[in-house]
Amino acid sequence: MFEALTGTGLAASAGLNAYIPLLTMGLLARFTGAIDLPSSWSWLANGWTLTILAILLAIEVVADKVPMVDHVNDVVQTVVRPTAGGLAFGAGSASQTVTVTDPGSFFTSHQWVPVVTGMLIALGVHGVKAAARPVVNVTTAGFGAPVASTAEDLGSVAMSVLAILMPFLVLIGLAVMVWATVWVVRRRKRRREAKLTGVETRRLFG
């Protein structure tokens, strides 16, 4: 149960920011005893891996806060975030943590299943994020992009840490993401209705 929640939380975190959950796992594995990565995933705690992830994270943090550039970044990340989500779910669900001392054999012997599951979770979260950003940019004339991006980064950090230390709280984070999904769908529907109304008005009085 906790292995699944850990993997789910890390994959969802990757949907918001590809590099935060991988960097979090690597740093905690290298410098603390909060997570013990299996040998097949030990490369995440390698110094070069952590350096590369930190550089990529810095690039995304900046790019995601600039209107228009954030859209291009989201297009590129359509491939990167699901991949990171698959890696995060696979590594997280097979690791020993402060709450999981003996990962289930399913997660350690069928690694392709957690990886594919993580990719799908991250892709879903990324889709909501990518759909929400244009709504935020339009309704705030672009000024909301840095605020939304910062909130997403902080959410990704929180979800990653909770997934490892207190995976049962991941359910709360998932509930917030479901609420955000509903909000995005409703806002996009209203925008379409407003556009259709505007077109009809111009036809009648244009």
User: Domain residues of the chain, as ranges?
Assistant: 2-177
pLDDT of residue 88: 94
Radius of gyration for the chain, computed over Cα atoms and rounded to the nearest angstrom: 19
Please report, in tens digits, the pLDDT of each residue of the chain (206 residues total). 778 889 899 999 999 999 999 999 999 999 998 999 988 899 999 999 999 999 999 999 999 888 788 888 888 899 999 999 999 998 988 888 867 666 655 555 556 788 898 999 999 999 888 887 777 777 777 677 788 888 889 989 999 999 999 888 888 877 887 787 777 667 767 766 666 665 455 555 55
Distances (CA, A) of 140 to 81, 133, 134, 148, 187: 26, 11, 10, 11, 13
pLDDT of residue 144: 75
pLDDT of residue 171: 82
pLDDT of residue 170: 81
pLDDT of residue 30: 94
pLDDT of residue 177: 75
Residue 52 near residue 23 (C-beta atoms within 8 A)? no
Rounded Cα gap, residues 122 and 127, in angstroms: 8
Residue 44 near residue 24 (C-beta atoms within 8 A)? no
pLDDT of residue 4: 83
Residue 126 near residue 15 (C-beta atoms within 8 A)? yes
The model scores a pTM over 0.85: no
Among 76, 162, 84, which Cα is nearest to 121's?
A: 84
Distances (CA, A) of 204 to 50, 54, 157: 60, 56, 51
Among 182, 178, 160, which Cα is nearest to 170's?
A: 160
Element (H or E) spanning 9, and its range? helix 2-16
**How crowded is the C-beta side of 86, counted as CA atoms within 13 Å?**
13
